[in-house]
Amino acid sequence: MKTVQLDNKTITPNKIVCIGRNYVDHIAELGNEVPDEMVIFLKPNSAISNQLSSFHQETLHYEGELSFIYQQGRFSAVGFGLDLTKRGLQSKLKGKGLPWDRAKAFNGSAVFSDFVSIDNISPDLTLALKIDNELIQAGGIELMMYKPDDILKEIQSFMDLQDGDIVMTGTPKGVGVIKSGTKFAAKVLQGETELINKSWVAV
């Protein structure tokens, strides 16, 4: 089983629950409709990776997301997650009304920073993603259509979460193609305080 790091401890998530279309500007940039209800999909444990890949059967796209670890009935830790997507395949599947799993749940499609414990989820929690030193994505809880408490309640209305499961809360605008050799530098901020700083070089 794949693992992530939380406060220098090893955590083994059973699954990753992902929220789609949670930022209005991101919905617009992909030409999608604003959903009537929360869009939820899953990634398996096998999707977790420390390596940022630019290709898996086709060119991959990145989506930076605030991600939370679930423990003892609440979101207890935050991290930065990259939801990797086969955009071409996803478009074909969506066009046929088929599930997205092949485009979203493949091996290596969930790349995470280390996680840090939090006492509560502050409304000024944000992410920032730079690619080759250029700010590409920025956003946070204020811009979310569905806030973390809403997300947790909706997930638990039909699915049990196990301690260690990860919830990815959607991506701000600025998604795009991953190019081999580019440097991704991610931050999670609470107000002006930097909680997480992590970088990857795409392969």
Q: What is the pLDDT of residue 141?
A: 94
Q: What is the pLDDT of residue 20?
A: 86
Amino acid, single-letter form, for residue 96: K
Structural tokens at position 86: 């086969």
More confident residue, 32 or 2: 2
Q: Is the pLDDT of residue 24 over 80?
A: no
What mean pLDDT is predicted for residues 171-192? Answer: 96
What mean pLDDT is predicted for residues 39-55? Answer: 97
Residue 148 in contact with residue 75, Cβ under 8 Å? yes
Measured between alpha carbons, how far is residue 153 from residues 18, 28, 72, 87, 105 in Å? 14, 26, 14, 29, 23
Q: What is the pLDDT of residue 119?
A: 94
Q: What is the pLDDT of residue 191?
A: 94
Q: What is the pLDDT of residue 5?
A: 98
DSSP codes, 186-199 = EEEEETTEEEEEEE
In the block, residue with structure tokens 């039909």: 158
Q: Is the pLDDT of residue 31 over 80?
A: no
Q: What is the pLDDT of residue 29?
A: 60
Q: Which of 115, 102, 114, 116 is nearest to 44 (CA)?
A: 102
Domain spanning 4-51+58-123+140-178: which superfamily? Fumarylacetoacetase-like, C-terminal domain (3.90.850.10)
Gap between the Cα atoms of 51 and 74, Å rounded: 28
In the block, residue with structure tokens 């398996």: 44
Judged by average pLDDT, the poorest of 1-5, 10-14, 142-146 is 142-146
Model confidence, pTM: 0.94
Q: Is the pLDDT of residue 21 over 90?
A: no
More confident residue, 6 or 33: 6
Q: How confident is the model at residue 32 (pLDDT cuts 50, 70, 90)?
A: low
Q: Is the pLDDT of residue 30 over 80?
A: no
Structural tokens at position 160: 């049990």
The per-residue pLDDT for range 123-149, each reduced to its tens digit, is 999 999 999 999 999 999 999 999 999
Report the SS3 class of residue 107. Answer: coil
DSSP symbol at 146: S
Gap between the Cα atoms of 47 and 86, Å rounded: 13
